[in-house]
Chains A and B, each alone.
Chain A
Amino acid sequence: MTYPEQLVELIEEFQAIDDQMERLEYVFDLASEVNELAADRWTDETRIRGCQSEAHVHVDIDDSTVRIYSGADSKLVQGLMGILTIAIDQQPVEIALSLTPEFAVEMGILNSLSPSRSNGFRNMFDKVMRDLKEEE
């Protein structure tokens, strides 16, 4: 499928990293890419279920574009949120909704993670898509 330009760049960057440690380090760095959802706004509704750590996400649609706000107590999980932010934040809703978690597989990050973390990413993705459809 055709990905937004910034996501294509990110996939290529990840594919260029061979070392597992460097890949994780890069995910950690991407934690700063999130639009922060402050801990005092974490509620049961924002909670991503099935995640080993506390992870929260909130999506808005602003003038037909997606806004995603998120936060986690794990930097690695927040880094995964950063990846999702780069993928869909400020993108038209229909582009965001056309995505599947396959882009993370192409990046090579899902197989770098434990099954629980990789499921956590899928749960995060599913929640964002579900919330977007409700907002639409």
Chain B
Amino acid sequence: MAIQNDFPILQRQVNGHRLIYLDNAATTQKPSVVIDAMNEYYTKHNANVHRAVHTLAGEATDGYEACRTTLKSWFNAERCILTSGTTEAINLAAHAWGHSQLNGRAIVLTEMEHHSDIVPWQMLSESLGNELRYVPVKPDLTLDMEALEASIEGAGLVCVVHTSNVLGVRNPIEEIIRIAHDNGAKVLLDAAQGAPHCQINMAELGADMMALSAHKMCGPTGVGCLLVNEETFQEMQPFMGGGDMIETVTLEGSTYQTNEHRFEAGTPRIAEAIGWNAALAYLGQLDLKKHHKRLLGIARHVASELRSLGMTVYGRHDDNDSSVVSFLHPTLHSEDFAHLLDARGVAVRTGHHCAQPLLNRLGISGTVRASFYIYNTMEDAVEFLNHVRDILERFA
């Protein structure tokens, strides 16, 4: 049975045309099993987690904690703190780990980072005075590794995006981790784009922290996680105070939980975690490697056709890169392009993609980005390209 049938939204029409959804790097669509799991939670098991002794609370707790267990196993991670998404996960790392561990130490970032992996560190730096060092992106759209090596001395942390949301470029994470660790720095991976496309083994990579979101891998919005190795976890200090993260509270002071709950103050995203667990189960039964290869083939075809139509394509589409195609027409504004595509039922992204430093480096203010995921087919790509040709004929 075709995978597309698992995603109810793909059956709808947009502006009188079949929906061709190519905005997967922003968020992916949800299969019925995810929607059903969340629906079932609210219709049969809804309760607050952890402390109550009644049956519903036990079921809700089991559902919520099952997501954590799956994530640890999926990414081979020692600790998993559930957050609202990648952004909150990185902010958590900055506050809970950075504040106590980075005093006076430099932070190495790259020009390829999403704003969510730049701004929290800029804010930390404003407060602690950390020096921020940015690794440039070379004209071939890869990180300048010599510059990374030159900037590592005295750094306490290297923050690097696993796979660029604009370029689809998968960075040499293994080498970056080696350089960082050799110089006494920890590594935080922004895996929001990488995690949906490949199986990341955190322990094997040796990353210290890794942030990701559910919604980019068929899960719901509003949930993500910060995966942390044990050593780093033990260095983290509580960030948000409140219910669930405490052990005891007296008027004189409080003591805190010692497990991941220590960083999950308040009622967590229970339905969302249950939905994410269902998404992981769904993805787990697919051959993601095979899909990755297939989607990369589609991305390469689209990139090549767009180039032949006079577009500049920003990406290289190597074997480990993601199936993202960012492009720009010499005269037709990216926002106009997206409007015209939307009128034909094609959903793409435009603008700076929350990566303004990277676009500044490329000397542009925005691109059109078509990003492919497991339910996209070559037929989608061919239809998309036909619409592009037609738009160019009529408007360029």
A residues sitting closer than 8 Å to B (CB atoms) are 19-21, 24-25, 28, 52-53, 73-77, 113-114, 117
Contact = CB atoms under 8 A, between A and B. Distances in A.
Summarize A's interface: helix, strand, loop or mixed: helix
Contacts, number: 42
B351 interface: yes
A75 B340 CA distance: 12
Interface core residue of A19, A20, A73, A117 (most chain B CB under 10 Å) = A20
Interface string B334-354: 011011101110000011000
A80 to B, nearest CB: 11
Contacts of A73: 333
B290 interface: no
Given A21-B343, A24-B343, A52 B395 contact: no
Given A20-B15, A76-B339, A117-B339, A25 B394 contact: yes
Given A20-B16, A21-B343, A52-B351, A117 B335 contact: yes
Interface in B32-68: none
* B interface bracket (residues with beta carbon within 8 Å of A): 10 to 19
B49 to A, nearest CB: 35
Given A28-B336, A52-B351, 7 more contacts: A20-B15, A20-B16, A24-B343, A25-B394, A75-B332, A114-B339, A117-B339
Interface of B: 15-16, 332-333, 335-336, 338-340, 342-344, 350-351, 366, 394-395
A119 to B, nearest CB: 13
Nearest to B336: A76
A76 B16 contact: no
Nearest to A54: B365
Nearest to A76: B336
A84 to B, nearest CB: 18
A19 B343 CA distance: 9
Given A20-B15, A21-B343, A74 B394 contact: no
A132 to B, nearest CB: 27
A128 B335 CA distance: 23
A74 B343 contact: no
Given A20-B15, A25-B394, A28-B395, A74 B344 contact: no
Q: Which 5 A-B pairs have the closest CB atoms?
A: A74-B333, A21-B343, A20-B343, A76-B336, A20-B15
